Chains A and B, each alone.
Chain A
Amino acid sequence: MNIEKIPLSSLPIGKKAKVTDLLSDGQLRRRMLDLGVAGGTEIEPLFKSPSGDPVAYLVRGAVIALRSDASDKILVAAE
């Protein structure tokens, strides 16, 4: 079965997915790893801010807000 990878930023609210690739590098990549966003991590968009960006995500039990420039660089596969 072919699993489609999409950027985290286009994952709809409330839909869980697993991280497949981190496309960022440098400090942003390290920060994502610190927050527990790595390959295989389950992530779920919870709610958007009033202007639609940033979006709050549920990662390993914590709610983390990410701007779209960061979530564009996280590829996920919906379950």
Chain B
Amino acid sequence: MRLKDKSTGAGAPCSSGLNIAKEAQGEIIVALAGNPNVGKSTVFNALTGMRQHTGNWPGKTVTNARGRYRHKDKDYVLVDLPGTYSLMSNSAEEETACDFLCFGAPDVTVVVADATCLERNLNLVLQTLEITGSVVVCVNLMDEAKKKGIGINLKLLSDILGVPVVGCCARSGKGLSDLADAVADIAGGRIRTTPLRPIYTKEIEYAVSLLQPPTEKAGTAGVSGRRTALRLPKDDTGVNLTERIVTRLLDICERIAGQVITYDKDDYSARDRKIDKVLTSKISGIPVMIMLLCAVFWITITGANVPSGLLAKGLFRLEEYLGELFNMLSAPKWLSGPVVEGMFRTLIWVISVMLPPMAIFFPLFTLLEDSGYLPRVAFNLDKFFKKACAHGKQSLTMCMGFGCNAVGVVGCRIIDSPRERLIAVITNSFIPCNGRFPALIAIITMFIAGRNAGPLGSLMSALVLAAVIVIGVAATFLASKILSKTILKGTASSFNLELPPYRRPQIGRVIVRSIFDKTFFVLRRAAVVAAPAGLIIWALANIRAGEVSLLESCAVFLDPFARLMGMDGYILLAFILGFPANELVIPIILMGYTAGGALTSAQNLSGLRSLLAANGWNWLTAVCVMLFSLMHWPCGTTCLTVYKETKSLKWTAAAFIVPTAAGTVLCLIVAGAFRLLGLS
């Protein structure tokens, strides 16, 4: 393994980029460790007031966040480590966490444990105690445990472990000040801990007694020589020894759990099992999944109609005023053109079309995420991924792709096998992101579902959108399979995934927070990307080389090929120019069509529809644009992220070519077939 030698070799420098330099004297570094999905990020957010993304599924935090908080006149730096089950294994995130605990020299380590599953969590607590005694155990989710009739004797647990144990409920903030107090007491030396040190079998203790003196001599400050000695016999000859250590730890955990946990109900998870029966059974599992997807889309489309219209109306009125203002000031055409028709119109488009669906879709999606449903999706779909020789956790990275493909690509770190991780990275853009999703909705509303604006029309739109997503998912399976049989040959590795208990999402807070977040996100993107791009594209559309504008001559050049794909030159050009951000595709198309001021702006979807229809769009064009939007090169940010994650131009090229090839071929086939049949 990559980091093994460094992380076991005493005195090795921290090699994982987790070095947190103390920026000011007197700052106290606190590491936040714990099993995946125990609410570390929630604790982190609650203490620091930051807004790390949280969700009820394991592996969500793949990068290390750091934040600051102040407690009783002292400054603390909090480092959120990736979730790990153990510190003895070899997966990348475990190495990261372990390296930081050993060599990042945190002053205090908080191990967050899940009260509803304490026994399994204790394993990591014991392993951490082998490294350092400056530990506070934070038993999170006490409210969930109480609901399930699980009682935990925190005082007894603290006595057994020899370190402070704080019960808390990070979502509501309960217990957090006690946690901060306990951290402060340890950092200030006001509490002396007597950490539980498990006694192993005679052979192990003998081996450790031999290894401990030399490792202590060469040791790093803060890491016990005993711990280093325990971790040394890790190569193949020592597997048995490590395993005996782990088994012994598991026994101890079981014993402690037996002492401190009481169950009021015989079957404390009966409710979860009932829900699972509906959400994962043979008969209802997949249909319920598709119905949920459709329901989310339906609510999104129906709900977005009204605010979208209002926003467009308001913003276009603003455009008129702006135009008049420029007139009044008798601003020259070269100024008012780019500002009003270039920047402002692009802004309007991006905001009025993107904002409402995003502000509705993401809160809904976050509710599903917080409830614990996403791991069940991975569970339901795993068989397909296995058939495609890919990893079941790929469904989680695909779900992240809905938000942003770049985020999805980073999220692929939760997949251990490098081959399967690459497959997930390369195929991630088959899931329409934030920037493409609203455009799909707009096109569906205009051309497929008809202008029937009633609930029936939105239902139709939702079904079509769900079908488009299903095509994207099917393309993902197919592409994964083809990759597994060609350039990424191999068989599926083993899959294991924790299915967390269902939690009732904090509906009000989720909705408010994610509407706020998404609004901010869309507006920021609009300002940073869409407005400048609008300026450039306006220039391209209006600067003339001879008779025609640059935009037009490029479009004319692309036109023959684009026609074969069921589109036209402007559309294909828009996809190419939309490389920096997918939100721009539709505004560019519009600017191409309306260049030269021949047409007034389309102020709502039906106006837009007539504009597009006047430029030769029919339903086949719409279908091909949607398919190509679903499957073409990932945006610039995503490509850059793929390069950062894979460190390879070859795989970045693959992530570019695979969806592009799929989309091109599919559009050629669809357009060709329908023309042959004379249907369009």
Residues of chain A whose beta carbon lies under 8 Å from any beta carbon of chain B? 27-36, 38-41, 46-54, 56, 59-67, 69-70
Contacts and interface: CB of A to CB of B under 8 A. Distances in A.
Given A46-B273, A62-B117, A53 B383 contact: yes
Given A33-B86, A50-B282, A41 B250 contact: yes
Nearest to A49: B379
A70 B285 contact: no
B499 A34 contact: no
Contact of A70 (B251, B280, B383, B494): B494
Contacts of A56: 276, 280, 379, 499
B89 A69 contact: no
Contact of A49 (B119, B251, B383, B416): B383
A13 to B, nearest CB: 11
Given A27-B416, A49-B382, A59-B120, A64 B281 contact: no
Contacts of A51: 282, 382-383
Given A27-B90, A27-B416, A47-B277, A61 B382 contact: no
Interface residues of B, number: 47
Interface in B491-531: 492, 494-501
A34 B119 CA distance: 12
25 contacts: A27-B90, A27-B91, A28-B494, A29-B243, A30-B88, A30-B90, A33-B247, A34-B123, A38-B243, A49-B285, A49-B379, A49-B382, A50-B280, A50-B380, A51-B382, A60-B120, A62-B498, A64-B498, A65-B379, A65-B496, A66-B495, A66-B496, A67-B392, A67-B494, A67-B495
B118 interface: yes
B85 interface: yes
Contacts of B380: 49-50
B254 to A, nearest CB: 8
A40 B499 CA distance: 22
Interface in B241-267: 243, 246-247, 250-251, 253-254, 257
B392 A61 contact: no
A30 B86 CA distance: 9
A62 B379 CA distance: 15
B496 A70 contact: yes
Chain A: interface secondary structure?
mixed
Contacts of B254: 60
A69 B494 contact: yes
A70 B498 CA distance: 14
A63 B309 CA distance: 46
Contact of A30 (B89, B286, B379, B492): B89
A55 to B, nearest CB: 9
Nearest to A28: B494
A60 B119 CA distance: 6
A29 B392 CA distance: 19
B386 interface: yes
Interface string B76-110: 00000000011011110000000000000000000
A73 to B, nearest CB: 9
A29 B88 CA distance: 12
A46 B120 CA distance: 18
A65 to B, nearest CB: 5
A42 B500 CA distance: 19
A36 B127 CA distance: 13
B247 A53 contact: no
Residue among A28, A35, A61 with max Cβ neighbours from chain B (10 Å)? A61
B511 to A, nearest CB: 28
A34 B242 CA distance: 12
B498 A61 contact: no
Contacts of A61: 116-120, 257
Nearest to B273: A46
Contact of A67 (B89, B118, B282, B382): B382
B418 to A, nearest CB: 12
Contacts of B86: 30, 33-34
A59 B117 CA distance: 10
A40 to B, nearest CB: 8
Contacts of A50: 280-282, 285-286, 380, 383
Nearest to A22: B243
Given A38-B250, A47-B273, A64 B497 contact: yes
A54 B88 CA distance: 26
A47 B117 contact: no
Contacts of A59: 120
A49 B280 contact: yes
A64 B123 contact: no
B436 to A, nearest CB: 29
